Amino acid sequence: MIEVKGISKRFGAVQVLTDISAVFHTGQVNQIIGKSGSGKSVLAKCIVGLHVPDEGKVLYEGRSFHDMDRDEMTGVRQEIGMLFQGSALFDSLTVLENVMFPLQMFATTSKSEMEDRAHTCLKRVNILDKDKLYPAELSGGMQKRVGIARAIAMNPKYLFCDEPNSGLDPQTSIVIDELIKEITEEFKTTTIVITHDMNSVMETGENIVFIHEGRKWWQGTREELLMSENKELNEFIFASGLMRQVKKAMMGKG
């Protein structure tokens, strides 16, 4: 479980996050949603330790991340897997080497065991046959799969996905969403997905945090999300005609 308590973050004169508190549950796909520029990525970066919050705490299983010493922090980081928006694969390494990278840096197993583990992860994301290619030779969807394989290589307890659907076609987006959900259930990870893709929210979101103007505006399940009467949340969710029709249909049923 990850808990954030009273997180605030400012860049120069701009207050990006204000007093955000939320709980992200183990074995669930937790989602942070909000408009572009709302502060959701900054919140995620505060949680994984890329930004140090000006105020507040991030608790990993009750341990305050930013109060840890360097070794403890490194230990927690090795329990984190992250899928980046642009995949962030290392250009000079092959797919297999990318997935093996965290193992080579931290695992104490032999090279053949590391290769076996990397192959298992690649098989899990259905991209085993591309192991000798370089990231530039892969499509966006394939790169995301490799990113997921690298993220799960160390058997993470926490999985972060920053806009996993960005730049992907709707079909591939669904495949990636399903993969994230399956991995969350299989590995019992605390998964946090940063997204503004409503399809993704409706398909996989179990615990949803809505960030608006740097504040936590709303938190709940996807069923509660559709019934919410929060004005800003409704403006965000039902911005598209399709979502408005979904709501109308649901109201009709109700």
Partner 1 sequence: MNTLTHIGRYFLLLKETFSRPERLGIYWRRLVEEMDLLGVKSVGIVGLLSFFMGAVITIQTKTNIDSPLIQAWVVGFAARQSTILEFSPTIIALILAGKVGSNIAAEIGSMRVKEQIDALDIMGVNSAGYLILPKILASMLINPFLVMVSMFLSIFGGYVAGTATGIVSATDYLQGIQTGFIPYHVTYALIKTVVFAFIIATVSAYQGYYTQGGTREVGISSTKAVVYSNVVILIANYALTQLLLI
Interacting residues with partner 1 (CB under 8 A): 45, 48-50, 73-78, 80, 82, 84-86, 88-91, 101-102, 104-106, 154, 160
Shortest reach from residue 214's CB to partner 1, in Å = 20
Contact 114, 100 (CB under 8 A): yes
Q: Which is nearer to partner 1, 136 or 241 (CB)?
A: 136
Task: Write the single-letter amino acid at 91.
Answer: D
Q: Which is nearer to partner 1, 71 or 223 (CB)?
A: 71
Type and span of the H or E element at 159: strand 158-162
Provide the sign of the torsion angle of the four alpha carbons 195, 196, 199, 202, taken in this order: positive
Task: Write the single-letter amino acid at 19.
Answer: D
- Give the integer Cα–Cα distance in Å for 219 and 46: 19
Shortest reach from residue 92's CB to partner 1, in Å = 9
Between the CA of residue 61 and those of 5, 150, 154, what are the distances in Å? 13, 23, 18
Shortest reach from residue 109's CB to partner 1, in Å = 13
Shortest reach from residue 70's CB to partner 1, in Å = 9
Q: Which is nearer to partner 1, 24 or 217 (CB)?
A: 24
Q: Which is nearer to partner 1, 32 or 226 (CB)?
A: 32
Shortest reach from residue 234's CB to partner 1, in Å = 32
Q: Which is nearer to partner 1, 192 or 198 (CB)?
A: 192
Which position has the token pair 């942070």?
Answer: 32
Q: Which is nearer to partner 1, 76 or 209 (CB)?
A: 76
User: How distant is the alpha carbon of residue 18 from its chain centre?
Assistant: 21
Contact 94, 149 (CB under 8 A): no
Shortest reach from residue 119's CB to partner 1, in Å = 20
- Give the integer Cα–Cα distance in Å for 37 and 17: 11
Decide: residue 170, CB within 10 A, 0-12 exposed, 13-18 middle, 19+ buried: exposed
Q: Which is nearer to partner 1, 162 or 217 (CB)?
A: 162
Nearest to 155 by CA among 112, 99, 235: 99
Between the CA of residue 41 and those of 31, 50, 145, what are the distances in Å? 12, 11, 21
Shortest reach from residue 8's CB to partner 1, in Å = 21
